[in-house]
Chains A and B, each alone.
Chain A
């Protein structure tokens, strides 16, 4: 794995759409997974294998992939979505996280 780059912050108003990108050369060959972390809590996986969403994660969370950039989209942002979001990728025997993006709901 190599470095993953995320924007430090994204701000949107309630009901709008938030997009958080994750970029890295390794993403052309490796899957990206996304985690949500609220203050004082452990991270929670919200997207795996680029675009797959666990059944218990709300449908407003989705992701898309294009080349070396993956985008997490939150459609119809709610106040409860305010959190830090981390992308992660892994090779056979190592893993790397992006620096994290703080999503602020205005």
Chain B
């Protein structure tokens, strides 16, 4: 059973950067068949994919957030991270980390999720 646990500041001021971390246990972060992903959900809204990072460090992002997002991985420390710059109230959301399963097919799906961490942007 793969367990993911998000951690973050809870509250960030507008225009400041935010940084979230996801610790991974029960699974090998260096596995060839997995991307390590961030997904967010604004209050009362749907799910939005932010991006993913492969164990090599290669990352891909949602085009709508690409200019402000960086996702990185530290396989030796069994965690990966999200950085989002110039936050506004629109970035207030529950942020989930998740494992994306890839394989002999195009695309991927999210088979394990963290419980999520609420990030509020307010002064």
Binding site for B on A (CB under 8 A): 29-31, 33, 35, 41-45, 48-49, 54, 86, 88-100
Q: Give chain B residues whose Cβ lies under 8 Å from the Cβ of A44.
A: 113
Q: Determine chain A's interface SS by DSSP, over half rule.
A: loop
Assess whether A31 is in contact with B107, with CB atoms less than 8 Å apart.
Answer: yes
Separation of A99 and B47 alpha carbons in the complex (Å)? 7
Q: Give chain B residues whose Cβ lies under 8 Å from the Cβ of A90.
A: 100, 106-109
Given the known inter-chain contacts A42-B114, A44-B113, please indicate yes or no for A97 contacting B106, CB distance below 8 A: no
Q: Give chain B residues whose Cβ lies under 8 Å from the Cβ of A97.
A: 46-49
Assess whether B46 is in contact with A99, with CB atoms less than 8 Å apart.
Answer: yes
Assess whether B105 is in contact with A94, with CB atoms less than 8 Å apart.
Answer: no
Measured CB to CB, the closest approach of chain A to B98, in angstroms, equals 8
Beyond A31-B106, A42-B116, A90-B100, 19 extra complex contacts between A and B, CB < 8 Å: A29-B106, A31-B107, A33-B109, A35-B47, A41-B115, A42-B96, A43-B96, A43-B110, A48-B101, A86-B46, A86-B47, A90-B106, A94-B60, A94-B63, A95-B108, A96-B49, A97-B46, A97-B49, A98-B46
Q: Give chain A residues whose Cβ lies under 8 Å from the Cβ of B113.
A: 42-44
- Chain B 40-64, CB within 8 Å of chain A: the 1/0 string? 0000001111000000000010110
* Residue from the set B47, B49, B63, B105 with the largest chain A CB neighbour count within 10 Å: B47
Q: Give chain A residues whose Cβ lies under 8 Å from the Cβ of B114.
A: 42
Measured CB to CB, the closest approach of chain B to A26, in angstroms, equals 10
Assess whether B47 is in contact with A42, with CB atoms less than 8 Å apart.
Answer: no
Q: Give chain A residues whose Cβ lies under 8 Å from the Cβ of B108.
A: 90, 95
Show 16 residue pairs from A and B whose CB-CB distance is below 8 angstroms, ordered by the A residue.
Answer: A30-B107, A31-B105, A41-B115, A42-B115, A43-B47, A43-B110, A45-B109, A45-B111, A90-B106, A91-B106, A92-B107, A94-B60, A94-B62, A95-B49, A97-B46, A97-B49
